[in-house]
């Protein structure tokens, strides 16, 4: 089984975020980048298939050379090879087109990725890729088993969990539950050393359409001052909620 895991290169959630060029560009100075957490769940599940069923795992990212450390980490976790599509990921539509062209050349059996990236939270790429390739797609996947060409999956829906059957090829957009956080793999020294010898191939991006343009970024409004009320002073609390906060 050939598995393609799509990896986003995203800022660590602890990073301090700033913008430059009149708030039209994200300032990467001092920002630590990591594997998108949702994609890390997908990668860990792919490694499970590698260990249990002998699957070949390829990780891919659309981006410039600065994303290669993230791909190397994925190799250290256990992926067999990495591909960097040398193109600026301007939006989800563009990224999905790049991934679709790669898929058409390699014909993977299973494509795994997170349901969204934690930087833009667009949740566009999995569905767009499935549409471009006309392949079955399961979103918000929290469990996946593959036996030959048959797959059994579960996904979260409003008010419950839906169990599905599908046949390969298949695109999975995963989240926590596909594996648990305790099952995520931390690269050890042996994995890091082996990653240096694994192939990381750079291919040119294809001409594709960008459908969006960034006008500007804006930080969330700062939290207002917190007013403390004595737990026994219910009248004052009601007065503040009614006359000042105006929520009742």
pLDDT at residue number 67:
95
SS3 state at 245? coil
Per-residue CA distances from 102 to 1, 41, 76 (Å): 17, 22, 23
Instruction: Write down the mean pLDDT value for the chain.
Output: 92
pLDDT exceeds 80 at position 224: no
Domains (range + CATH), the chain: 2-220 (3.40.50.620)
pLDDT at residue number 103:
97
pLDDT in tens, 108-132: 999 999 999 998 888 999 999 999 9
Q: Give pTM, 2 decimals.
A: 0.86
Per-residue CA distances from 136 to 128, 196, 207, 231 (Å): 11, 35, 25, 55
The DSSP secondary-structure symbol of 169 reads S
What distance, in Å, lies between the first and last C-alpha atoms of the chain? 58
Note if the bond before 169 is cis, omega within 30 degrees. yes
Give 58's strand partners. Answer: 4, 81
Greater pLDDT, 22 or 5: 5
pLDDT exceeds 80 at position 238: yes
Stretch 232-241: mean pLDDT: 90
pLDDT in tens, 67-92: 999 999 999 999 999 999 999 998 99
Cα angle 209, 210, 215; round to 5: 165
SS3 state at 60? strand
Q: Which residues have C-beta within 8 Å of that of residue 21, sequence separation ≥ 6? A: none
Percentage of residues of the chain with pLDDT beyond 70: 100
Question: What are 180's two structure tokens?
Answer: 């648990």
Nearest in space to 55 (alpha carbons), one of 5, 15, 6 = 5
């Amino acid at each position: 089984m050939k598995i393609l895991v799509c990896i986003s290169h995203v800022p660590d959630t602890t990073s301090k975020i700033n913008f430059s060029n009149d708030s039209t560009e994200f300032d990467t100075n001092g920002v630590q980048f990591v594997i998108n957490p949702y994609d890390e769940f997908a990668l860990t599940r792919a490694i499970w298939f590698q260990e249990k069923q002998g699957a070949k795992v390829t990780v891919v990212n659309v981006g410039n050379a600065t994303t290669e450390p993230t791909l190397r980490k994925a190799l250290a976790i256990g992926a067999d090879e990495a591909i960097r599509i040398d193109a600026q990921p301007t939006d989800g539509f563009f990224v999905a087109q790049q991934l679709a062209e790669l898929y058409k050349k390699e014909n993977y059996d299973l494509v795994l990725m997170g349901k969204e990236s934690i930087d833009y939270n667009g949740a566009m790429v999995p569905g767009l890729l499935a549409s471009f390739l006309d392949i079955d797609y399961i979103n918000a996947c929290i469990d996946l088993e593959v036996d030959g060409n048959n797959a059994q999956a579960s996904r979260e829906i409003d008010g419950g969990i839906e169990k599905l059957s599908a046949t390969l090829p298949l695109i999975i957009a995963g989240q926590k539950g596909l594996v648990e956080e305790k099952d995520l793999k931390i690269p050890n020294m042996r994995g890091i050393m082996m990653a240096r010898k694994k192939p990381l191939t750079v291919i040119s991006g294809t001409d594709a359409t960008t459908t969006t343009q960034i006008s500007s970024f804006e930080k969330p409004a700062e939290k207002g001052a917190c007013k403390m009320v004595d737990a026994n002073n219910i009248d004052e609390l009601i007065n503040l909620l009614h006359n000042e906060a105006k929520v009742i």
